[in-house]
Structure 1
Amino acid sequence: MKRYLPLVVLLVVGVLAGVGVRACSNKPSSSSDSAEPVGSAGPPATSFADCRALTAPPKEASAGKGTAATDIALPAAELSCFGGGNLRLADVRGPAVINLWGSWCTPCREELPAVNAVAQRTTGLVHFLGVDTRDLRSDGEAMVSEFGLTYPNVFDNGERARIGLKLAGIPATLFVDKAGKVVHLYNGAPLDEAGLADLVKRHLGVAVPVG
């Protein structure tokens, strides 16, 4: 009986080795192996708007008269745009609306759909810019995708915009004229579409088209 023991051991080891090989082969060996089955619905591709156009007035901006400039100055902070490159806030030229938000901020979440809706209704008439404040970049990008924001957004983890504007909290919305001057700062309750459209009309002199 003892003479057959090495043979039995070798057979057992061989079986176990075969199991191990089969288990490794179940792992994807290439990117094509890990692709989703044909017909399955994958996550939508995310597209972030470009910030470069914000340094010149909108192409269809009217000569409507807004309110006079305040003594509030746009911070000179240069921030990273989710669409690539950097944007110096002080270089923004209006009519423009700059909205400070954060993924962690409940009131920001409440008003972002209204901001996005008015931005879409005023395409070519008014620039819109979002400033993701005190956030993780990944969380900010996820929120841009979640709300389907169509206008450019920049990342401001260090809160340079909020601190430069001496704001106690967010959300906050700035209205900027064609010379880059702040004509109004709103830092109250979350805005709805009608409220934001009214502020755009009063302070930037732009009538928001009916959605």
Structure 2
Amino acid sequence: LTDLSFLHMVAHTPDMWPRLRPYKDELEPLISFLEEHEDELFFKPPEPDIDPIGFEEFLSELKTARVLLAWIEEAPEDAILSEFHVHPGDLYRLVETSKWLLYASRELSALFGSREAALRLTILMKRVEHGVKEELIPLASLRGIGRIRARLLYNHGFRTLDDLREASIRDLLKVPQIGPKLAISIKEQLGAPLEEEELELARRAEKVQKSLLDYA
């Protein structure tokens, strides 16, 4: 089973409504994707010649799952909206509904004693919530970070919460999109001690940042 297996599972439920209808130019690549990944899915598609409406609905489920898959693989939001012809509100709705359905699936798995499935669903639920790969879940869970800043932190060597806890304010400020207030917030959220020297550095950096914004 893969991430696609579970994402299509939640897309298949009646609660995932309305689903994303594929446009005409999406049908051929979507059918090719189905042929390539059919063995990963819990459910088999209806025969298009026998049940064309059911097959079309199945493609809607698959498109919905593909959008969610792109989201958790950290595809840029603009790219997702453009490639799959969806609106920001649609993406938000899919994420929120999927989180709830994955949570319910996780609880059922735990209830029936499938700890492995429950763990996988927990991880997938967090990935859907934040739109990240698994390694970014701890970073993206911090307040004010999000998927983009989490990846920037990770790529700059801050790969765990301990890395952030031990980092200096000066080091954090070297990461793009990490300003003085956010750097302090990160340290405070992690319960890391802040020296007066670091706080003063953050205050000076904030003044410089404000001056640049005023000048612009």
- Normalising by structure 2, we get a TM-score of 0.23
Structure with the larger helix share = 2
Q: Which has the higher strand share?
A: 1
Say which one has the larger Rg: 1
Greater RCO structure (CA 8 Å; 6+ sep): 1
